[in-house]
A = this chain, B = another copy of it.
Amino acid sequence: MTARYTISELARLVGGDLHGDGGRVISAVADIAEAGPDDAAWVSQPKYADRASTSGAGVLLVNSAFSASATTVPTIVCEHIDRSVAQLLAAFAPAPAYPDVGVHATAVIDESATVEDGCAIGAHVAVAAGAKIGRGCVLHAGTFIGRGTTLGTDCVLWPNVVVRDGCVLGDRVTIHPSSVIGADGFGYYFDKGAHQKITHIGGVVLGDDVEVGSCSCIDRAKFGQTVIGRGTKIDNLVQIGHNGRVGEHCLFTGQVGISGSVRIGSYCVFGGRSGSVDNITIGDGARLSGLGTVAGKDIPPGATVSGVPARDHRDYLRERAAVRRLPAMMEQLKALRKRVEQLEASADDQ
């Protein structure tokens, strides 16, 4: 992280308007609470604006709602603060830690496989027969590409990723270490007192710009394809079962689990450790909250759901509130019964 920029240069890089002196040289990015005079920091949410007044940062990125009088630090006012922060981080990012372009001497590439120009194939990589690696792909050490699998251009597979045979990756697909694409789905039938394996003859298709985290598993289809749509992002330790059909630009946060044959629309958001039973449909734009929500039946488009099994988020909150009041309510019921008993007793007396 040896990049250095004047504040004026940074303002241009992040597309913001500079307020204050632009001459100081900035050499790092830091949290607003810890930043010193050589660091850039930011305030992205109004509720943290008061931190600006006490910050020791050299420059602050702020959004247009931020009042310039709230700090003496130079500020860069950004129309889209999240984008500008991302640009700031990119400006200070070191060169990516990729292997050299070319094929490492220890990599084993089957002679019937194709590796296009500009690829960087690391140590101990194995590429099986008939596989095709598109232009500019990076295969880090220990990665395995199965028979007949094809990668588009500019994919990045981090160390020890496994993509089994017969899968198709689009352009700019990123897969983080130790993830597994295209292993057999979990499918058996019961016969003669034992679970008999169902051969999974389908594959997996990952669309353009799909990203998969570490130690995640996307199973191949029983037949046909398990499909992850363009732009969908998947975190660590996520399971997507066989024959899943996921739309575009969805988010799957850590430890999400999707059973087999689930149809998922586009722009859905799965909070941490949420999930779905098998064979249901989750509509476009649906959101499963990140408290372990599990969809037990179809979820309509645009719904926000919570709980196990998942229900409308507001119903869930109402139920939670009611359960919290339940011990008190039991006391009330008991007290009421006593009052009724007294009424009955006095009625009998009459």
Contacts and interface: CB of A to CB of B under 8 A. Distances in A.
B198 A86 contact: yes
A184 interface: yes
A94 B166 contact: yes
Contact of A332 (B90, B195, B201, B333): B333
B211 A251 contact: no
A158 B166 contact: no
- This protein's copies in its complex: 3
Nearest to A233: B195
Interface string A238-273: 010100000001010111010100000000000011
Contacts of A340: 336, 339-340, 343
A201 B97 contact: no
Given A183-B177, A188-B233, A277 B290 contact: yes
Interface residues of A, number: 115
A190 to B, nearest CB: 8
A243 B180 CA distance: 25
Interface in A146-175: 146-148, 158-160, 162, 164-166
Interface in A101-115: 104, 106, 108
A124 interface: yes
Contact of A272 (B29, B162, B257): B257
Contact of A162 (B128, B158, B327): B158
Given A124-B108, A183-B176, A214-B217, A347 B337 contact: no
A186 interface: yes
B344 A213 contact: no
B195 A251 contact: yes
A165 B95 CA distance: 11
Interface stretch (A16-24, A49-57, A219-227, A280-288): A219-227
A346 interface: yes
A346 B199 CA distance: 74
A327 B336 contact: no
B158 A159 contact: no
Contact of A254 (B257, B333, B343): B257
Contacts of A147: 97
A309 interface: yes
Nearest to A106: B108
A343 to B, nearest CB: 5
24 contacts: A82-B189, A86-B189, A93-B201, A94-B201, A97-B164, A104-B108, A122-B126, A123-B126, A142-B162, A176-B184, A178-B178, A183-B213, A183-B236, A186-B233, A188-B233, A237-B237, A254-B259, A255-B275, A273-B275, A292-B292, A322-B330, A326-B326, A340-B340, A343-B347
Given A213-B217, A291-B296, A323-B326, 15 more contacts: A30-B223, A80-B191, A93-B201, A97-B166, A104-B108, A159-B164, A160-B160, A160-B178, A176-B184, A215-B216, A277-B291, A319-B324, A325-B330, A336-B337, A343-B347
